[in-house]
Structure 1
Amino acid sequence: MASLKDLLAQRAALDQQIQETTSRERSDAIAKVRMLMSEYGLTIADLSTKTPKVEKVSKVAAKYRNKSTGESWSGRGLQPKWLKAAIGAGAKLEDFAI
């Protein structure tokens, strides 16, 4: 069984190997990227691509309005609760048309 001193020495040696390997692989990666940039004529500006702006979704004009509360609905998607309740109570959809 190894002593604590031996294990700490092994760990120090492994830490050194890890640091050297990381440095070497990083240098290799940088060289590879530079070679590819040269091969394809790329610049640093080409690498910093901006994300395209997302167009704002335009709001759809309201088609139906609850005159007592001012709530409105565009006619798209599920009917709002206030409209369902009113229709359930006997009102017609056309009664709320703007």
Structure 2
Amino acid sequence: MNEHLSLKEIQEQIAKLQAQQQKILSERKSEILAEIKSKISEYGLTQSDIFGNAKKSGTKKPKMIRYYDRQHGISWAGRGRKPPEFENLSQEELEQFRLDPPVAADLLD
């Protein structure tokens, strides 16, 4: 390339090259898409063959809270590790925080 090109000339060349790039990409995408469609038809592939079965969307069952300290806003479902605030409590002390019946986590507060 010529080292004495003006800024405007360089910008024009860049624009021309970018237009060529877009044209080549567009043509290549069309070719690839045609190949893919041909293979899908040839092998009788379905959408689930290609992408797998879609997961069923739905609402998750809310986590049920069995123990709740209203003063500190600490909750525990009764499964897994106890929150540090509940760890050193005896069973009798823990029962003071029991919610009966358990409450959905999104209903607290």
TM-score, length of structure 2 as denominator length: 0.48
Moved more, 14-23 or 52-61: 52-61
**Does residue 14 in structure 1 map to residue 17 in structure 2?**
yes
Structure 2 vs 1, CA of residues 72 and 37 (structure 1 numbering), >3 Å: closer, same or farther?
closer
Question: Which has the larger share of helix?
Answer: 1
Percent identity reads 31
Question: Which has the larger share of strand?
Answer: 2
Q: Hey, what's the Cα distance between the residues in 1 that align with 2:23 and 2:65?
A: 64
Q: Hey, what's the Cα distance between the residues in 2 that align with 1:19 and 1:75?
A: 59
**Could you tell me how far 1:57 is from its partner in structure 2?**
5.4
- The correspondence of residues 1-98 of structure 1 with structure 2, limited to 5 A, is 1-43=4-46, 45-46=47-48, 49-53=53-57, 56=60, 62=66, 75-80=78-83, 81-82=85-86, 84=88, 86-87=89-90, 93=91, 95=92, 96=95
TM-score, length of structure 1 as denominator length: 0.52
Contiguous gaps of at least 5 residues in structure 1 = 88-92
Contiguous gaps of at least 5 residues in structure 2 = 101-109
Structure 2 vs 1, CA of residues 30 and 65 (structure 1 numbering), >3 Å: closer, same or farther?
closer
Give the superposed CA RMSD.
4.0
Residue type of the partner of 1:27?
S
